[in-house]
Chains A and B, each alone.
Chain A
Amino acid sequence: MTRDPKALEALERALRAAYRRAPPEAPPVPVEAIMARVRRSPPAEPAGDPRFLGRFVLAAAVVAGLIVGSALWRGVPAELANPGEAADPVAAVLTVSLGE
């Protein structure tokens, strides 16, 4: 197999030149077809601010952290240590984390 780097570089240069030549016989831009598809598509909607979603997720994480942290600070309640004995484990967690 040929391993002539100069020939390979010349070939690459030639392909680059071929690539940069304008493609032949470019047809007109299909404006009508584009607009027909645009009219069939849902209307353009202003995007939601991605920063809002980020802040929402951050706030949710902080609240969840506070609840869990509070529960750990107060100690694991007996109801959770023996969930089978708790009438309502969810209520037990909320009671412990949010207070009476």
Chain B
Amino acid sequence: MHRTLDRTAAIDPAGAAPGNGETGGATDGELVRRALAGESRAFEGLVRRHGPRVQRTVRRHVPGDAAQDVVQEAFLRAYVSLANYRAAEGALGDWLVTLAVRASYDHWRARYRRREASGPRFAESHQAWAERVTQARSVEAFEEETARREAREVLQLALARLSPEERLVVSLVHLEGLSVAEAARQLGWSEINVKVRAHRSRRKLRTVLEPLLEPLPNRTPEAK
């Protein structure tokens, strides 16, 4: 099979010159064939082409300090299992995103195994932010609050309270807004599994968020 792929790449008139590492006008399929034929520069072309998208995906699921490792892991998996990629089943970029999501999932599973996932709880500043954002009277005020540092901190703290499975499914379905079918494809789970977990995970996320909506301690006497 290697020889067949090699020959195909050699006679492909649209293929870029082998060995120069530039993707040129080569399609993903051509680069995949050349990478499978042992041309690592062709794979480097794929990394340069799809790296930004893979990195964006990973950085949505994994903290910045760990993202670089997970991006590397995702591309390494892509290289090792490149022959499993079937062009007929979807674009290469989508396949790489799937690998990136699964590598992110494995990152969280490893962290949970090492018991590194549980972090600090919500602070008063987070409660104050929740109060402001839920009482925002205009779209501008709401947008301004969502851009604050506290918004990302609350998001990370809330997600840290979920299991790796819950975290990923909440991120993909509720936060990113993917369909159940698309999330199932990225996670490698059945659609029913995703649907059930998405429902349970959202319920748990709400339970996690509820303390943020409690009155702030210094205002409790006034409330009484």
Q: Which residues of B130-166 are within 8 A (CB) of A? A: 130, 133-134, 136, 142-143, 145-147, 151-152, 154-155, 158
Among B54, B76, B134, B151, which residue has its beta carbon within 8 angstroms of that of A37?
B76
Alpha-carbon distance A38/B79, docked complex (angstroms):
7
Interface residues on chain A, size class: 35 or more
Task: Answer whether residue A82 sits at the interface, using C-beta atoms and an 8 A cutoff.
Answer: no
Q: Which residues of A3-17 are within 8 A (CB) of B? A: 3-4, 6-8, 10-17
Set of chain B residues within 8 Å of A16, measured between Cβ atoms: 174-175, 177
List the one stretch of B107-115, B180-188, B192-200, B210-218 in contact with chain A.
B210-218
Set of chain A residues within 8 Å of B104, measured between Cβ atoms: none
Render A27-48 as a binary contact track against B, CB cut-off 8 A, 1 for contact.
1011101110111011111110
Task: Answer whether residue A1 sits at the interface, using C-beta atoms and an 8 A cutoff.
Answer: yes
Known: A1-B211, A41-B76, A43-B38. Contact between A15 and B155, CB under 8 A? yes
Set of chain B residues within 8 Å of A12, measured between Cβ atoms: 174, 205-206, 209
Task: Answer whether residue A18 sits at the interface, using C-beta atoms and an 8 A cutoff.
Answer: yes
Tell me if A14 and B44 are in contact (CB < 8 A).
no
Alpha-carbon distance A2/B209, docked complex (angstroms):
10
Task: Answer whether residue A84 sits at the interface, using C-beta atoms and an 8 A cutoff.
Answer: no
Task: Answer whether residue A75 sits at the interface, using C-beta atoms and an 8 A cutoff.
Answer: no
Tell me if B59 and A18 are in contact (CB < 8 A).
no
Task: Answer whether residue B90 sits at the interface, using C-beta atoms and an 8 A cutoff.
Answer: no
Known: A8-B206, A46-B5. Contact between A29 and B47, CB under 8 A? yes
Q: Shortest beta-carbon distance, B104 to chain A, in Å?
A: 13
Among A7, A37, A46, which residue has its beta carbon within 8 angstroms of that of B2?
A46
